[in-house]
Structure 1
Amino acid sequence: MSPLRIAIVGFGKIARDQHVPAIAATEGAVLAAVASPNTSLAGVPQVATLEELLRNGPPFDAVALCTPPQVRRDQAAIALAAGKHVLLEKPPGAMLSEIGPLLTAAVAARRTLFATWHSRVAPAVEPARLLLAGRRITAVRISWKEDVRVWHPGQAWIWQPGGLGVFDPGINALSILTRILPQPLFVTSADLAFPANRDAPIAATLRLADAAGLPIFAEFDFRQTGPQSWDIHLDTDQGPVILSSGGAKLSAGGVQHVVAAAAEYAGLYRRFVELTATGEPDVDLTPFQLVADAFLLGHRRTVEPFEDAT
């Protein structure tokens, strides 16, 4: 069987650091081209845009859209109309309402639309889900705090409408939470801190619950210096369970569980290859819905302006 020929559209930090090595490590996949106006990859055909790729580029079967979320809907629609499978970086778009028509188009064309959540593929997430299945969870606390200047240097799109601000990393925590908890969740309150000169929040606190009233408190912050935190702490009837390092580590009752190291993006691409074999879609919008509800329900506070040091 011929390998799935994948073109990366948008070639920034995440594409170079994660997508390129993941494709190289995935059996049945090969990087066919890059579409980016400003950057290239040695040994790989490069054009400026998806449209140019479709007109003049090498043959390919699928696109991985690593562009900012504000432009992904148009690109996904173009790719699906051209008969290509589509992988969407997270979040899948700038708005919830734009994903439904894309899914309809994908099903009609018998092409895969894959809305990815890379943190769900972190090595300790599935072990945590299985562990928690036999316990009663009584409370959840999330601390997802990082330095935006380190992880998103000079990325103006993240501060623009549709860029999500601190929810760009925060949605990773929500993607894990909605995977490991057994019941659907909803937002009960939100506090959003917007820099005076930006259109997206730099920090947020959320309270969530499930139908049984499970209390969940989440703190997201882009202003963290020093140690970074990507942790989910769950109180259970058999002691605490902690997912740390973004889902890479698991401890329960003070005992560290050994989990096999795994590359998140390689897991996504293995799944993508499987899906494209049949044209099956995989689109779970639950984490995105929680972020949208936080914006709808949230109290907005204005804080000091943010200036990117770069």
Structure 2
Amino acid sequence: MTWLLTSPDESLALMLADSGFDVWIANTRGTRFSRRHVTYAPTNPEYWNWTWDELVTHDLPVVIGFVSSQTGQKIHYVGHSLGTLTALASFSEGKQVENVKSAVLLSPIAYLSHMTTALGVAASKAFVGEITTMFGLAEFNPKEKPVADFLKALCAEPGVDCYDLLTAITGKNCCLNASTVEPFLKNEPQSTATKNLVHLAQTVRDGILTKYDYGNVNYNEEHYGKSKPPAYNLSNIPHNLPLFLSYGGQDALSDVRDVQTLLDSLKFHDLDKLNVQYVKDYAHADFIMGVTAKDVVYNQVIEFFRRQYH
């Protein structure tokens, strides 16, 4: 849905299709388009026993492999927010990277220790605390009462203003129009696993990118064969993989300092393969719904893809 909230001439997916690209849009597990499972119903807590580690190891490689086998071609990848984290981590582990021609990362998140949204900071503190299993809730569904109550409690904390929920989460977006925000709030945010949010909160707290920390030496030993979860080493991403990163100066989730840390881990990347765009007045949602995104970002993205053929 994220890619289809704006008018057809302002949506990256449709602009790419109009430019002659074959466009495939994936859904993250747990969202309303992706709730099936060979064994579990979504009402079973086991269905929700995953974090973005599973997206990195299983889901994204399967999507890339599937599209590549259907088209007989390498793919150009576009991700926003969590879609950048899973791609970076997956490529660093060498998953399906041979089937990727280039990757565009909008509002990239890999490191989150400077996240400045009051709501995000309050939430990450809460998640890393004792409520790991959050009232035994396996599914974190923002549209249902337990989660709504949890958010209400966070919003009552000093310094957290949730009057404008979108700003409270993403920072001050410059370029959204009301007609876009409405369908956005109707469709987003979708359900995810509570465990996934705990994992993201660990990233905020620890300032490093690792697999899920079970918070217990024995559990970690059992899963990883060591007492601490292994780190993702982003400098393992093939140095000749063409990357286009675009980030915003007002982004409260993908803070400029955290993007610098990410760029630092890419410092050995081939210079001519790393394209970085900084948009001073953009925040997190501007990259997918900004009325100026077409001119500021998307035209550059299409241009970047075209250059891969020369």
Same fold (TM > 0.5): no
TM-score (norm 2): 0.31
TM-score (norm 1): 0.31
RCO comparison, higher one (Cα < 8 Å, 6+): 2
Instruction: Give 1 or 2: higher strand fraction.
Output: 1
